[in-house]
Structure 1
Amino acid sequence: MTGRGDPRDAGFATPWPLRHNPHVAEAREAALGWLGAFGLLRDEDAAADFTELRLAEAAGWLYPFAGPEDSATAAQMLGWCLLPSGGRPDRVAGGDPRRTAEIAGALIGIVHGEPVPAARRSPAVTAFADLWGRMAGGMSPRLRGRLRHHWAGYFSARATAAADHATGYAHADLDAYLAFRADTVCAYGQLDLAEQWGGAEVPAQLWHHPALARVRRLGADLAAVASDTAEPARARGGDGRGDRGGPPDVVRVVAATRRCTRPEAVRHASVLARRKVAELVALEERALPRLLSGLDERHRYAVLGYPQLVHHRVVAARAWGRVSHPGVRAAQPAPPPSGAP
């Protein structure tokens, strides 16, 4: 098994290599120029944040086979979503749930082809309108429909998360939290993009199959655990008791629901992740091959290659979790390549 767990990590290994996209440097420059042109880099510190948060590298790990233009769009997308000065609706609204819901509504309108009301136009909304045109461009109507559904779900989830934070809502069930977490990070919308940016579109008659749905969910869960239990993420604080100051994450939810310390919660999450890795490997080996009967060569390739897109997300989350958090990101070297790009 390759990709063994780093001793700084939660303690689960994956058999999948981290792959690097060769267009990261160009994508970084394109993303910085784009963010600046739309007013999303307020000062030099914001540009430094983009570089130090390794967002171009993260895009390359997520989409290692994307070409130059798609790599640039991917880096712009992550900048819009994750940069502190970017466009995510709850950040633009300063966490105010009512304003977040209003901005989220305008963004959902964009993905459905509706004009943006004059009162909702802003640098963040205008930037996303430009971004959406390039993300959805060139897709088949069916893939674009999926992308539209998942990105609308992302904006809705960000509005819900803002309301939850304002009311002090605490997640009491880990499985339910992980399902919601997938929406709050647009896990499935980013996976749709992977089919377009270096993968292959899964045929519509199989995309909804329970085996592929489970592959998607396992990948989203593993990415969440990998991100939240990486060393810099764990350094965010607390022993797991009374650690309510920040947004929920996997470790906080486990600590709260199991009434344990943060280190104990990390260990529990590690055990859970190892089980999920084993289940995902078993699905790939046993369940997916039986779906191929009656498919032509192109569709067989898409189905068998779909889990690889999920693998990229999991290992990218682990790599980015190690290097992206404030206070440690500048000191952490980017992980070395593992496997051919």
Structure 2
Amino acid sequence: MRSFAVVALIAPPFPARLNPHAAEAARRSARWATELGLIVTSDAARRLDRANAGDLAGRTCPDAAPERLGLLTDLITWLFAFDDACDDDGLGADPGRLSPVVSRLLDVLDLLGGDAPSGLLTAAGPTGAALHDLCRRLRESGQPDLLVRFTAQFRDYLLALLWEAANREHHRVPAVDEYVQMRRHTGAVHPSFTLTDHARDARPGWSELADPRLSALDRLAADLVCWCNDVFSYGKERRLEQDGHNLTLVIARENGQDEQTALTEAAGRFNTGLETYLEWEGSLLDGAEPAVERFVAGRRAWIRATYDWSMNASRYA
């Protein structure tokens, strides 16, 4: 499937760069995950190593200082570890079991990185303790606007996982438009973007963030990240006989298409979206403030980073 993606997807025409601290960030993140109990088995450690969170983070923030790169790397590590844990015990397919887990993580988010009441983090387990650590460090960076954005976006991610689990429980394949909307959230792209803004010192004001053009560009960048991932990961998901949460599968079901036709259409959606992104970006950056330029550069870097990381990550081999 990787060979199909290489041929079918247009390579994003942005510079491919890697932070020189990426490898060290990956090592530190693996230790962080182990110390907090996110990784407890050798198999989990191997899968985390195969995910290569440091490479993905390092490609999105090639010039970031080690501390800020480390925060983003730890978030990506958390997401990979939680995704694997949900797959391992079927949690991600059982909304009745997932709901109390999500509820405890929402309790953690409500703290906004502040002091935790006695017993809360114990009840939330390692995933809750690690999530609180991410919020605490973002809070201590002195950027409350990013903290509020991050926790709100992470809340959307957690609630979207319940939608995904309900679909799995009922063997339901969503419609394409529904899938596209929810995929932005199940992929945790927006909270990842926000920690990228933190790493790149990209902080547009609220008026700029409320600009419909900027929000549309942000959503399209998230879509491109997800669609690229879906095309690259489809082969693995098909081999594992996983559910219908992939752009190719929802297209095939809705349009009554065979696998190859749907896969080609999914790649075409990415290519068309990339062309639209380039048009919108050029218009938006004309006369833009430096903070908006840095914001957009982060989205551009994520699109390119996802493509390059997917080309090499053994997670989808």
TM-score of the superposed pair, with normalisation by structure 2:
0.87
Is the contact between residue 47 and residue 315 of structure 2 (CA under 8 Å) also seen in structure 1? no
Is the contact between residue 223 and residue 317 of structure 1 (CA under 8 Å) also seen in structure 2? yes
How many Å separate the matches in 1 of 2:308 and 2:35?
29
Is the contact between residue 72 and residue 196 of structure 2 (CA under 8 Å) also seen in structure 1? no
The answer as to 2:284 corresponding to 1:322 is no
Is the contact between residue 46 and residue 85 of structure 1 (CA under 8 Å) also seen in structure 2? no
> Residue by residue, what CA displacement relative to the aligned partner does 1:155-180 show, whole Å, maximum 9, x if unpaired?
111122112211222111x2321111
CA drift of 1:223 comes to 0.9
Residue 161 of structure 1 aligns with which residue? 164
Q: Which of 276, 295, 307 lines up with 1:306 in the alignment?
A: 295
Residue 266 of structure 1 aligns with which residue? 263
What one-letter code is carried by the residue in structure 2 that aligns with 1:323? N
Is the contact between residue 138 and residue 147 of structure 2 (CA under 8 Å) also seen in structure 1? no
Residue 15 of structure 1 aligns with which residue? 13
Q: Identity across aligned pairs (percent)?
A: 22
How many Å separate the matches in 2 of 1:53 and 1:34?
16
CA drift of 1:218 comes to 0.9
Distance change (3 Å), C-alpha of 1:40 and 1:9: farther
CA drift of 1:325 comes to 4.7
How many Å separate the matches in 1 of 2:276 and 2:306?
19
Q: Report SS of the residue matched to 2:193.
A: helix
CA drift of 1:23 comes to 0.8
Is the contact between residue 150 and residue 195 of structure 2 (CA under 8 Å) also seen in structure 1? yes
Distance change (3 Å), C-alpha of 1:179 and 1:191: same
Residue 331 of structure 1 aligns with which residue? none
Q: Which of 239, 253, 256 lines up with 1:256 in the alignment?
A: 253
CA drift of 1:73 comes to 2.3
Structure 2 unaligned residues grouped into runs of 5+: none
How many Å separate the matches in 2 of 1:287 and 1:313?
18
How many Å separate the matches in 1 of 2:203 and 2:262?
37
The answer as to 2:26 corresponding to 1:28 is yes
Equivalent pairs counted in the alignment come to: 310
Residue 41 of structure 1 aligns with which residue? 39
TM-score of the superposed pair, with normalisation by structure 1:
0.82
Moved more, 26-35 or 9-18: 9-18
What one-letter code is carried by the residue in structure 1 that aligns with 2:257? C
How many Å separate the matches in 1 of 2:157 and 2:28?
25
CA drift of 1:237 comes to 2.7
Residue 150 of structure 2 aligns with which residue? 147
Residue 76 of structure 2 aligns with which residue? 78
How many Å separate the matches in 2 of 1:107 and 1:30?
24
Is the contact between residue 233 and residue 322 of structure 1 (CA under 8 Å) also seen in structure 2? no
CA drift of 1:249 comes to 0.8
The answer as to 2:133 corresponding to 1:130 is yes
Distance change (3 Å), C-alpha of 1:17 and 1:60: same
CA RMSD of aligned residues (A): 2.7
Residue 338 of structure 1 aligns with which residue? none
Summarize the alignment of residues 92-241 of structure 1 with structure 2, pairs less than 5 Å apart: 93=91, 95-113=93-111, 115=117, 117=120, 120-172=123-175, 174-230=176-232, 233-237=234-238
Is the contact between residue 111 and residue 148 of structure 1 (CA under 8 Å) also seen in structure 2? yes
How many Å separate the matches in 1 of 2:138 and 2:217?
23
Q: Report SS of the residue matched to 2:238.
A: coil
What one-letter code is carried by the residue in structure 2 that aligns with 1:248? H
Moved more, 136-145 or 202-211: 136-145
Is the contact between residue 84 and residue 91 of structure 1 (CA under 8 Å) also seen in structure 2? no
Distance change (3 Å), C-alpha of 1:140 and 1:326: closer
Is the contact between residue 38 and residue 126 of structure 2 (CA under 8 Å) also seen in structure 1? yes
How many Å separate the matches in 2 of 1:309 and 1:118?
32
CA drift of 1:139 comes to 4.4
Distance change (3 Å), C-alpha of 1:134 and 1:247: farther
Moved more, 307-316 or 211-220: 307-316
Is the contact between residue 150 and residue 188 of structure 1 (CA under 8 Å) also seen in structure 2? yes
CA drift of 1:288 comes to 3.8
What one-letter code is carried by the residue in structure 1 that aligns with 2:181? A
Is the contact between residue 86 and residue 124 of structure 1 (CA under 8 Å) also seen in structure 2? no
Residue 51 of structure 2 aligns with which residue? 53
Distance change (3 Å), C-alpha of 1:106 and 1:320: same
What one-letter code is carried by the residue in structure 2 that aligns with 1:321? S
Q: Report SS of the residue matched to 1:197.
A: helix
Moved more, 118-127 or 159-168: 118-127
Residue 246 of structure 1 aligns with which residue? 243
> Residue by residue, what CA displacement relative to the aligned partner does 1:169-220 show, whole Å, maximum 9, x if unpaired?
2111x23211110111121111111111024101111101110011111111
Distance change (3 Å), C-alpha of 1:314 and 1:181: same
How many Å separate the matches in 1 of 2:99 and 2:79?
16
Answer 1 or 2: which has greater helix percent: 2
> Residue by residue, what CA displacement relative to the aligned partner does 1:62-82 show, whole Å, maximum 9, x if unpaired?
332321122222222212111
